[in-house]
Amino acid sequence: MAFYKAEAITLRSSRFAEADKLVVLFTKQHGRICAIAKSAQKAASKFGGRLEPFSYNQLLLAKGKSLDIISQAETIETFHVLRENEFTFQAAMYIVKVAASFLEERTRNEPLFDLIVDSFLMLKSGVSPVLVTRMFDVRFADIEGILPVEEFSKAQKKCVGYLKNGSFDAADISASELRALDSILVPCLSDHLGKDIRLWKSM
């Protein structure tokens, strides 16, 4: 059985069979992967809570016929605090949904992986979930080469610059300016993903 290592963010996890977990992962080295964590549902599992959504781990996986098997998980960051607050949880779920809708099986996308980790770290540090999700939208569109620069006004381009650079001074970006950006970015991203992401935005 061939083994390989990967840094991974858990996008989703669910019960599989009686005691196992089916985990959807976004790995830095190999893109999106579905894998099985044997006996992960048991109270005494060696995985503990390491495979919960948003968790960031260094994994050892074994190649399987249809699904790979998670052999070991070493925590880099649990991001458990994102699940403890309604607004950070909603923001993290939005980011995960957008990423999961875009990613293809085993297609590497290191810039997007790094963007998700950066976004989670910002949420953990207390940056406004509203600002973080808008920053994510701008940077995601930029990574994908679909940032509609020509549609932004001069003032909006300034806001986009703040978001791309992580300049989150509340005096720089108002709620009305963020809504104006949404009116351009959300249709653009929805068209790119083939899904109406307005249904996922609650902030």
- Each residue of 61-75: pLDDT tens digit? 999 888 999 999 999
Amino acid letter, 78: T
State which H helix or E strand residue 164 sits in.
helix 154-165
Task: Kindly state whether residues 107 and 177 are assigned to the same domain.
Answer: yes
Check: CB of residue 23 under 8 Å from CB of residue 35.
Answer: yes
Task: Kindly state whether residues 90 and 55 are assigned to the same domain.
Answer: no
- What's the mean pLDDT in 33-44? 90
How far apart CA 55 and CA 151 sit, in angstroms, is 36
Task: Kindly state whether residues 126 and 185 are assigned to the same domain.
Answer: yes
Is the confidence at residue 144, as pLDDT, over 60? yes
Q: What is the CA radius of gyration of the chain?
A: 18
- Residue 55 sits in a domain whose CATH number is 2.40.50.140
pLDDT given at position 45:
86
Task: Kindly state whether residues 114 and 57 are assigned to the same domain.
Answer: no
How far apart CA 8 and CA 26 sit, in angstroms, is 5
pLDDT given at position 203:
55
Domain's final residue, options 78, 111, 138: 78
Task: Kindly state whether residues 148 and 123 are assigned to the same domain.
Answer: yes
In the chain, the N- to C-terminal Cα span, in Å, equals: 46
Task: Kindly state whether residues 192 and 113 are assigned to the same domain.
Answer: yes
Range with the lowest mean pLDDT among 2-11, 26-35, 74-83, 158-167? 158-167
Task: Kindly state whether residues 66 and 103 are assigned to the same domain.
Answer: no
The boundaries of the domain holding residue 29 are 3-78
Task: Kindly state whether residues 95 and 70 are assigned to the same domain.
Answer: no
Range with the lowest mean pLDDT among 42-51, 88-97, 145-154? 42-51
Band of pLDDT at residue 83, cut at 50, 70 and 90:
very high
DSSP letter (8 states) at residue 78: -
pLDDT tens digit sequence for 162-196: 898 877 665 578 888 889 999 999 999 999 999 99
pLDDT given at position 202:
66
Domain's final residue, options 78, 102, 133: 78
Task: Kindly state whether residues 89 and 147 are assigned to the same domain.
Answer: yes
Domain's final residue, options 27, 53, 78: 78
pLDDT given at position 185:
94
Task: Kindly state whether residues 68 and 89 are assigned to the same domain.
Answer: no
Task: Kindly state whether residues 59 and 93 are assigned to the same domain.
Answer: no
Task: Kindly state whether residues 92 and 190 are assigned to the same domain.
Answer: yes
- What is the number of other CB atoms lying within 10 angstroms of the CB of residue 168? 16
Task: Please tell me the chain's helix, strand, coil percentages from 3-state DSSP, rounded to the nearest 5.
Answer: 45, 25, 35
If one counts the domains in the chain, the total is 2
pLDDT given at position 170:
52
Check: CB of residue 112 under 8 Å from CB of residue 140.
Answer: yes
